Structure 1
Amino acid sequence: MNDKNRDLPNQEEAPKSYEGAPVTQAQGGNAWKRLLAKKWVFPATYMAAAAIILTLMWVYQGSGVTDKQVSIDSAKTVTDSVSSPDALATNAKTETMQWPFKDRNELELVLHFFDKNASNDVRQAAMVEYGETFTPHMGMDFAKKDNQPFEVLAVASGKVTAVEKNPVVGNLVEITHSNGLVSVYQSLSEVTVTKDADVKKGDVIAKAGRNELEKEQGVHLHFELRQGQGGPAVNPEQYLGTN
Structure 2
Amino acid sequence: MVPEVIKMKDHEKEMPSKMKRLFRKRWFFPAVYLSVAAIIIATVLWMQNGNESATEEEGTGTAHNYDEEAVPTAKQQEVFVEPVLAKDIEVKVPFYDEKASAEEQESALVFYNNKYYQNKGMDYTLKSGETFDVTAAMSGTVAKAEKDALLGHVVELKHSDGITTIYQSLANSSVKVGDKVEQGDVIGEAGRNQFNKDAGVHVHFEIRDNGKPVNPLDSYGKTVSAISSSEDAEVTSESEADLEEQANEENNNAENNNEENNNENNNQKQEKTENNAKQKDATSSMTNA
Match of residue 142 from structure 1: 124
CA contact (8 A) 1:170 1:210 kept: yes
Match of residue 30 from structure 1: none
Match of residue 102 from structure 2: 120
Match of residue 150 from structure 2: 168
In 2, Cα distance between the equivalents of 1:85 and 1:130?
54
| TM-score w.r.t. length of structure 2 | 0.51
In 1, Cα distance between the equivalents of 2:187 and 2:129?
19
Change (3 A) 1:133 1:86: same
For structure 1, the 5+ residue unaligned runs are: 1-83
Tell me which amino acid in the other structure corresponds to 1:92.
K
- The one-character-per-residue Cα deviations of 1:28-72 (angstroms, maximum 9, x if unpaired) are xxxxxxxxxxxxxxxxxxxxxxxxxxxxxxxxxxxxxxxxxxxxx
In 2, Cα distance between the equivalents of 1:212 and 1:218?
10
Q: CA deviation at 1:86?
A: 3.4
Secondary structure at the counterpart of residue 190 of structure 1: strand
Tell me which amino acid in the other structure corresponds to 1:178.
S
Is 1:86 aligned with 2:86? no
Question: Where do residues 86-105 of structure 1 align in structure 2 (5 Å cutoff)?
Answer: 86-88=71-73, 91-103=74-86, 105=87
- The one-character-per-residue Cα deviations of 1:118-138 (angstroms, maximum 9, x if unpaired) are 001111111111112111001
Q: What percent of counterpart residues are identical?
A: 36
Change (3 A) 1:102 1:179: farther
- The one-character-per-residue Cα deviations of 1:187-206 (angstroms, maximum 9, x if unpaired) are 00121000010000000000
CA contact (8 A) 1:94 1:179 kept: no
Tell me which amino acid in the other structure corresponds to 1:220.
H
| TM-score w.r.t. length of structure 1 | 0.60
In 1, Cα distance between the equivalents of 2:163 and 2:133?
22
In 1, Cα distance between the equivalents of 2:203 and 2:147?
15
Which structure shows the higher helix fraction? 2
In 2, Cα distance between the equivalents of 1:109 and 1:157?
23
Tell me which amino acid in the other structure corresponds to 2:115.
T
- C-alpha RMSD of the superposition: 1.5
